[in-house]
Amino acid sequence: MGSSQSVRAAVMVGQERTELQELPLPEPGLEDGLLQVEAAGVCGSDVRHYRTAIREPRILGHENVGRVVALGRLAKDRWGVQEGDRVLLEEYLPCGHCYACRTGNFRSCWETDSLLSADAIRYGSTPVRVAPGLWGGYAEYLYLHPRTVMHRVEEAIPAHEAALALPLGNGIEWVLREGGLRPGQTVLVLGPGQQGLGCVLAAKVGAAKLVLVAGLAKDQRRLEVARQLGADAVFSGPSPELAEWVMDLTGGAGVDMVVDTARGNDETVGTALAVLKKHGQLLLPTGAAQGLSHFPVADMPKRCLTLRGVRGHSYAAVELALEWIASRKYPVGRMSTHHLPLTEVDRAIRLTAGELDDAAVHVTVLPGMCQTSVDRTARDTGTGCEHTAGASGGGRR
């Protein structure tokens, strides 16, 4: 396996434009390796990235599961894995020696924070021009950088379910580890996307007394999955009625925690603050780019409220997510609704964005899948097949 071989990859070449290209397969050195990608989940951040004008092509996809197929001698010692092992990758490529890394918060390392550092590298957002180019999961192979953080994946876990470990890990991190949910508390999750559903499961496993989920009229499929994961009640309707609904269900008391995975704008934040109990907290993993036109700062000390910005996940949260998936105690597979091949990455992202008629919850790209004409269910698996070089993926022109 080396540079004489090529790799098929769905490359984002412009705003809402993807092309299927062939890139050289690198020869691993002493400190790095190669992953054969089994599955790459589509995240909401992929949607935001896809809608943004870019200067340099890149391969998206950071919820990546696969098998180690090449490994340098030093990398083998560092990672504790062997060729043939099945792993899940974190998107972060932390330096390992800064304060954030040394204190267990490697997701905050500047070397991998692509939102705040222009030179940062991470899976799913690094341009193809940065050698060796294979930085995203929407490809047959992924480069294993020396700073890769990986988790072992049991053989019995379907790849499309293992890809859910990162969004589930986010929910665990936000609700349980950072939010500190206590048994018997009440939680409202705004937005039933994959991150919100991760919060639902975390709250339920964390012994919340009441878990409420609110979405839009188009979110019926996602709200049904929320119920299956443990939500006690779900809401879809006009926003002015949401606060009344929450207060009715809580006997006028409100909730201990709100997680706004929806928009983080005037409407959602205003609703959150209206339904929080005294000493309640609002967790914000998202935020409107334009900010808020009004924020009732005076309410914060009057009601002893906490506003906490949250982002990403810890190593421990992802490990716990994989344990939950492997346990088969929870119907996490219900989240995985669509499986598509590399030729349909554009469609996969648009399904996640809710732009198409077919309602999706979590969409997975399976690089080994041959079929290109129909969506897949959780029973499908990717298979090796012959492909035509230079095929083009769907994209808005």
DSSP string, 87-103: EEE-SB---SSSHHHHT
Going by the DSSP 8-state scheme, the letter that residue 374 receives in this structure is: S
Asked if the model's pLDDT at residue 185 lies above 50, the reply is yes
- Find all residues with CB under 8 Å of 80, minimum gap 6, and list them: none
Confidence category of residue 1, pLDDT binned at 50, 70, 90: low
- The pLDDT mean for the chain works out to 91
Asked if the model's pLDDT at residue 4 lies above 80, the reply is no
Report yes or no: 325 and 162 within 8 Å, Cβ to Cβ. yes
- Give the model confidence (pLDDT) of 105-142 as tens digits: 999 999 999 888 888 999 999 999 999 999 999 999 99
- Give the model confidence (pLDDT) of 326-340 as tens digits: 999 999 999 999 999
Q: Give the Cα separation of 171 and 208 in Å (integer).
A: 14
Asked if the model's pLDDT at residue 195 lies above 70, the reply is yes
**Mean pLDDT, to the nearest integer, of 337-358?**
96
Nearest residue to 366 via CA among 335, 391, 336: 336
Q: Give the Cα separation of 359 and 173 in Å (integer).
A: 27
Q: Check residue 386 and give its pLDDT.
A: 35
Q: Give the Cα separation of 193 and 354 in Å (integer).
A: 10
**Mean pLDDT, to the nearest integer, of 67-85?**
96
Q: Check residue 240 and give its pLDDT.
A: 81
All structural domains of the chain: 6-163+331-365 (3.90.180.10), 169-309 (3.40.50.720)
- Give the model confidence (pLDDT) of 139-149 as tens digits: 999 999 999 99
Give the pairing type, strands 6-14 and 17-24.
antiparallel
Q: Give the Cα separation of 174 and 181 in Å (integer).
A: 9
Q: Give the Cα separation of 213 and 232 in Å (integer).
A: 8
SS3 at position 257? strand
SS3 at position 377? coil
Q: Check residue 393 and give its pLDDT.
A: 41
Q: Check residue 381 and give its pLDDT.
A: 38
- Find all residues with CB under 8 Å of 285, minimum gap 6, and list them: 170, 174, 195, 259, 260, 261, 309, 310, 311
CB atoms within 10 A of CB 186: 24
For the chain, strand residue ranges (E) read 6-14, 17-24, 33-41, 63-71, 86-89, 141-144, 150-152, 186-190, 210-215, 233-236, 255-260, 276-284, 306-309, 336-340, 362-365
Beta bridge partners of 33: 71, 144
**Mean pLDDT, to the nearest integer, of 223-231?**
98
- How many helices (H) and strands (E) would you count in the chain? 12, 15
